[in-house]
Structure 1
Amino acid sequence: MPRPTLDEIFSEPDEFGLLTVKLKPRAASPNSGGVSILTDVTRFYEQHGRLPDPSAHSHEEMRLGTIWESLVKSPSDELRQADRLGLLKIEEQKVALSWRDEVNDDDIPDSLDDIFSDDGLDVQPELVQLKHVTPAAERQVPDHRADFVPCKDFDQFASLFETMQQALDGGAREATLIEKWAVIEPLEGDFFIRSGLLAYIAEKSESTQRGGARDHRLRVIFSNGTESDPLMSSFRKSLNDDKTARVIQRLGLGPLDPDWETDKVSLSGTIYVARSLSEDPAIKPQREILYKIGVTSQDVRRRVADARNDPTFLLAPVEIVATYELQNLSRSKVENLLHRFFDVARPGELFIIDRFSKRIRPREWFYVLPEHVGQAAQLIRVGQLHLYRYDRDTQKIVRR
């Protein structure tokens, strides 16, 4: 049976009234009743001296402003004739600013201070005044850069580099590719390949909190006779950024294996005594009796150059008041001996607040005098430190 055509369908009786279309009345033109709206806007203008704001908090003003905004887009002749205050001309003279428009140089603020000083802004001073924060200008200018400098005691490492290179060439040692974003924890005695050079971790300083995370200052010796002292985090980043970087696997199966420390060199160094130059009210009164005892294998001036940014140095510059040279003595062992010997003079409540509002408790500061450290250093040289102790009450080194 052929399908019916549309004409046949529409000619049949509409039993259910499906084809009966009821047209909705057309919405009133924006200008219908516009004169009465103009009257309300005129009254508002005479009372407030301005046109109603479509974004106002008041519902009545918002409603009136929204309707008026719609009316002025295409005002009728009747509306123009009824406009006795010329409100339509005021709207036509408004220039809507767009992000595409060019702005006069005078309209562009030069700083945040210009923005916050605007009379239209009601900003409480507590919201824009920073406290306990180092100014950005000071943070961006480091006191010390980890540049490459000639290694003055390279003769202590030359044979170590030669032995390692021969082991790599002969296959006795393996260099493993450092994966991108790998977390590397350099230890004293570790070898790396960076920028085509063998890099040896000769020293890893005491732990500190920098950037909210634990960090160390390293002394890295390179096979070309230079050295550098980067932060561990910076050295780690340089390895991750170097696509050719390698880590040379240690001998042995772990720290308990006798071969594990084969590459580690027991370096002699310098004992230094530093006095803080901090202006912190909690530290300044103690500057004549509070001293940091440290041991380093590098130049002491380089070690303390970045003290202002290092929580280990109380985030302040320091003055080196005494140094004592070590001869044929392990730097790390001497440092441990001194810190244990003067442990009774360690201040229990010494702490600082870093710029991340974290409380840091440096462990290398003691209530001692430089001459006490000198006496202890002499006892270490002659191997008799274990026969003496530091008496906190009398502030003297006495025999046990």
Structure 2
Amino acid sequence: MMARPSLDDIFAEDDEFGLLDVKPRTGRGGPSQDSGVAALLEVTAFYERHSHLPDPDALDHDEMRLGAIWDTVKLAPTDQMRAVDRLGLLGEDSAPTPHSWQDDPVDADIPDSLDDIFAEDDLDVDASLISLKHTTPSAERHVPDHRADFVPCQDFERFRERFETVQRGLEAGERQAYPVRKWSVIEPIEGDFFIRNGLLAMIAEKSEMTTRGGTRDHRLRVIFSNGTESDPLMSSFRKSLNDDKTARIVQKVGLGPLDPEWEGDRLKLSGTIYVARSQSDNPEIKSQRMILHKIGVTSQDVARRVADARNDPTFLLAPVEIVATYSLQNLSRSKVENLLHRFFAAARPAELFVTDRFGKKVFPKEWFYVLPDHVGQAVKLIEDGTLHLHRYDVESQKILPLEKTS
């Protein structure tokens, strides 16, 4: 049996095909010159497109691959590579490789505030992008349009006897004062009594609906036993009662609606019908100023009622001029007001609106294309009890009797 040849025997044989003629690799273990030049050209093209050298830690696979190649190529640059390095990427002043997102930031690069960011010279930001529009500053958002301050009640003598009667009833036990339950919904009406902050408080008037603050609400006239008064919104008055742990609701006299004395706390129904003319600078309203009027009814001084007109959408968010007033005696203010509004309904402008501070359109319902004399005639007909026998004709702008039907 023939013995197997050893390696020495194999290498000693003639190399007919030159398989063992292997030339040693030149260089110092780095890439060849051709591959180095090719890598440099590819990196140069990348730098011209992106303005930075490829990052070996980049999330993009192509950039990561090219960055790893570049880290190896730049360690052993050849003369041929330097000859084609037209951007000087192999020099000492070459563009630095950007930091990885995993590296800790340099303290000097961390801004102290937004002002430092926007103050950067190379950060060209349009001013419209960093300035607030259609937004109320924080300081102004917390300032109410109208403050229901406490002022002396000029006609307190009208109510003094009622306060004394309620006070005597409480002291004698004829009336009870019940605590206000937390978050209870209170619907005060004219003549109701409450105890707030240790004072008796009477609801003297519940005026027409307003849209202050974007929601519909009533304005109250509240008179206190110390001779002062205030005009809060009904929602604000409810909140003040809920916030006051000593607040009380004073019981009405009688046993209920069937008791003839149940209405004993109601105020004498008196007040003033007023006709107001807008002083708005709105061109559309200004052009109709002499024929567009607001019809309202109030129990308080008319000047006080319209004092805050510029902040109330009911008054078209503008001051008003009182052009006529008519006394009202022993008649329901709300019923008279509703009656007048229905009577002149055909003369109500359909598209009259104002935009409140929240950007919401408000359509006041108390304004009409009528003259003060028309309102005076209607008031006289109410006193005579014959308003229902008449109608307001828009075309002729006259109050005419209803035609009799056979």
Same fold (TM over 0.5): yes
1-side partners of 2:56 and 2:219: how far apart? Answer: 61
Superposed CA offset, 1:187-233 (max 9, x none): 22221111111111111111122333221111001011110111112
What is the SS of the residue equivalent to 2:124? coil
| Cα pair distance change 1:351/1:42, threshold 3 Å | same
1-side partners of 2:202 and 2:94: how far apart? Answer: 81
Give the alignment partner of residue 107 of structure 1, picking from 99, 103, 116. Answer: 116
Instruction: Return the offset for 1:341.
Output: 3.2
Q: Look at both structures and tell me which one has the larger radius of gyration over its CA atoms.
A: 2
Matched length? 350
2-side partners of 1:386 and 1:99: how far apart? Answer: 85
Give the alignment partner of residue 215 of structure 1, picking from 214, 217, 235. Answer: 217
Residue in structure 2 matched with residue 189 of structure 1 by the alignment: 191
Aligned residue identity for 1:369: L
| Cα pair distance change 1:53/1:301, threshold 3 Å | farther
Aligned residue identity for 1:241: D
Residue in structure 1 matched with residue 3 of structure 2 by the alignment: none
Q: Sequence identity of aligned pairs in percent? A: 63
Residue in structure 2 matched with residue 96 of structure 1 by the alignment: 105
Q: What are the ranges of 5 or more consecutive residues in structure 2 without an aligned counterpart?
A: 1-30, 78-89
| Cα pair distance change 1:139/1:323, threshold 3 Å | farther
Give the alignment partner of residue 206 of structure 2, picking from 199, 204, 207. Answer: 204
Give the alignment partner of residue 119 of structure 1, picking from 116, 121, 124. Answer: 124
2-side partners of 1:168 and 1:41: how far apart? Answer: 95
Q: Is the 8 A contact 1:42 1:85 kept in 2?
A: no
Residue in structure 2 matched with residue 8 of structure 1 by the alignment: none
Give the alignment partner of residue 174 of structure 1, picking from 173, 176, 182. Answer: 176
Instruction: Return the offset for 1:281.
Output: 5.6
Instruction: Return the offset for 1:56.
Output: 8.4
Aligned residue identity for 2:200: L
| Cα pair distance change 1:186/1:51, threshold 3 Å | farther
Q: Is the 8 A contact 2:310 2:318 kept in 1?
A: yes
| Cα pair distance change 1:349/1:90, threshold 3 Å | closer
Residue in structure 2 matched with residue 295 of structure 1 by the alignment: 297
1-side partners of 2:113 and 2:314: how far apart? Answer: 50
| Cα pair distance change 1:192/1:280, threshold 3 Å | same
Aligned residue identity for 1:186: P
TM-score, with normalisation over the residues of structure 1? Answer: 0.69
Structure 1 residues 284-293 or 50-59, which shifts more? 50-59
2-side partners of 1:180 and 1:108: how far apart? Answer: 49
What is the SS of the residue equivalent to 1:265? coil
Aligned residue identity for 1:172: E
2-side partners of 1:102 and 1:134: how far apart? Answer: 28
2-side partners of 1:134 and 1:276: how far apart? Answer: 27
Give the alignment partner of residue 321 of structure 1, picking from 312, 316, 323. Answer: 323
Structure 1 residues 256-267: aligned runs within 5 Å:
258-267=260-269
TM-score, with normalisation over the residues of structure 2? Answer: 0.68
The question of 1:334 aligning with 2:343 is answered no
| Cα pair distance change 1:81/1:186, threshold 3 Å | farther
What is the SS of the residue equivalent to 2:325? strand
Q: Is the 8 A contact 1:388 1:397 kept in 2?
A: yes
Q: Is the 8 A contact 1:80 1:88 kept in 2?
A: no
Structure 1 residues 162-171 or 334-343, which shifts more? 334-343
| Cα pair distance change 1:251/1:59, threshold 3 Å | farther
Give the alignment partner of residue 245 of structure 1, picking from 224, 244, 247. Answer: 247
The question of 1:361 aligning with 2:343 is answered no
Instruction: Return the offset for 1:154.
Output: 1.2
1-side partners of 2:114 and 2:250: how far apart? Answer: 58
Aligned residue identity for 1:155: E
Aligned residue identity for 1:309: N
Q: CA RMSD in A?
A: 4.6
Superposed CA offset, 1:97-128 (max 9, x none): 6799773796276xxxx99xx62469789x96
Aligned residue identity for 2:374: H
| Cα pair distance change 1:121/1:81, threshold 3 Å | farther
1-side partners of 2:128 and 2:60: how far apart? Answer: 23
Give the alignment partner of residue 394 of structure 1, picking from 375, 393, 396. Answer: 396
Give the alignment partner of residue 276 of structure 1, picking from 267, 275, 278. Answer: 278
| Cα pair distance change 1:129/1:148, threshold 3 Å | closer
Superposed CA offset, 1:331-370 (max 9, x none): 3343234323323323344444545555533221111111
| Cα pair distance change 1:189/1:85, threshold 3 Å | farther
2-side partners of 1:259 and 1:334: how far apart? Answer: 24
1-side partners of 2:127 and 2:58: how far apart? Answer: 18
What is the SS of the residue equivalent to 1:262? helix
